[in-house]
């Protein structure tokens, strides 16, 4: 019988040595995707994810059930990544990796199901890199809100629970972040282009590829 997230976390607190690993494996891809987009490169993302998992492993008995276990896990990982960004002043100045994209239809910065041709794929790749570099210029709180809402597709209420702030705060951070991104990304827009995809910052269009990330490195608490 498959145990729920809450049952796995409770079992871990009770001393089950396998429960936390099973819980992490269940949510590994999404936790990695959030860490990777937040940190901007795989090395820093692996460190941020590791920090978050160690914190969750050690503080599991502090979980009181006010939110879903997956929301709590995301909150711990995101906070660990933001702490690392603040401490190290990471702005990902180097080349961005190709595996920053997560498949699917989540969020507003995604592609359609149809596969692009070579020219379209190359253009989308350049645009995607520009968007991710522009994200690096934002304050970490605005960046985290935009990543969760616009790139990962979380509802605003769930993003607020993950970030530990009010819904209105997330909306405000997203609005200010989009406003800051608009002039940085406007150069990507053709002068005669009528409109962008609804909900996207001007000039972003559809920027994420349909390829799944290669996934996180092995991480253990």
Tell me the per-residue pLDDT of 57-97, one tens digit each, with 9 for 90 and over: 999 999 988 889 999 999 999 999 999 888 865 343 333 34
pLDDT at 121: 63
pLDDT at 80: 93
Torsion angle defined by CA atoms of residues 145, 141, 72 and 208, in that order, rounded to the nearest 10 degrees: 40
Question: Domains in the chain, ordered, with CATH?
Answer: 1-90 (1.10.1740.10), 94-214 (1.10.10.10)
Lowest mean pLDDT among 4-18, 47-61, 123-137, 169-183: 123-137
Over range 153-166, report the average pLDDT. 91
CA-CA-CA-CA torsion sign (112, 113, 117, 121): positive
Total-model pTM: 0.64
Does residue 199 register a pLDDT over 50? no
Does residue 128 register a pLDDT over 80? no
CA geometry: angle at 205 spanning 125 and 208, to 5°? 45
């Amino acid at each position: 019988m498959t145990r729920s997230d809450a049952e796995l976390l409770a079992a871990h607190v009770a001393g089950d040595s396998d429960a936390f690993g099973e819980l992490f494996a269940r949510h590994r891809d999404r936790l990695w995707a959030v860490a990777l987009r937040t940190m901007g490169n795989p090395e820093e993302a692996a460190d941020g994810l590791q920090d978050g998992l160690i914190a969750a492993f050690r503080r599991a008995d502090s979980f009181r059930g006010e939110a879903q276990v997956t929301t709590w896990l995301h909150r711990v990982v995101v906070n660990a990544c933001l702490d690392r960004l603040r401490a190290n002043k990471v702005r990902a100045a180097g080349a961005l990796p190709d595996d920053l994209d997560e498949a699917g239809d989540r969020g507003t910065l995604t592609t359609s199901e149809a596969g692009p041709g070579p020219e379209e794929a190359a253009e989308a790749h350049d645009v995607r890199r520009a968007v991710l570099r522009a994200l690096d210029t934002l304050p970490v709180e605005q960046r985290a809100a935009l990543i969760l809402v616009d790139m990962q597709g979380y509802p605003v209420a769930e993003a607020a629970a993950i970030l530990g702030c009010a819904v209105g705060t997330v909306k405000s951070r997203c609005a200010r972040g989009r406003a800051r991104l608009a002039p940085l990304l406007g150069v990507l827009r053709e002068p005669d282009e009528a409109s962008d995809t609804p909900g996207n910052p001007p000039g972003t269009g559809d920027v994420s590829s349909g390829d799944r990330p290669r996934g996180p490195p092995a991480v253990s608490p």
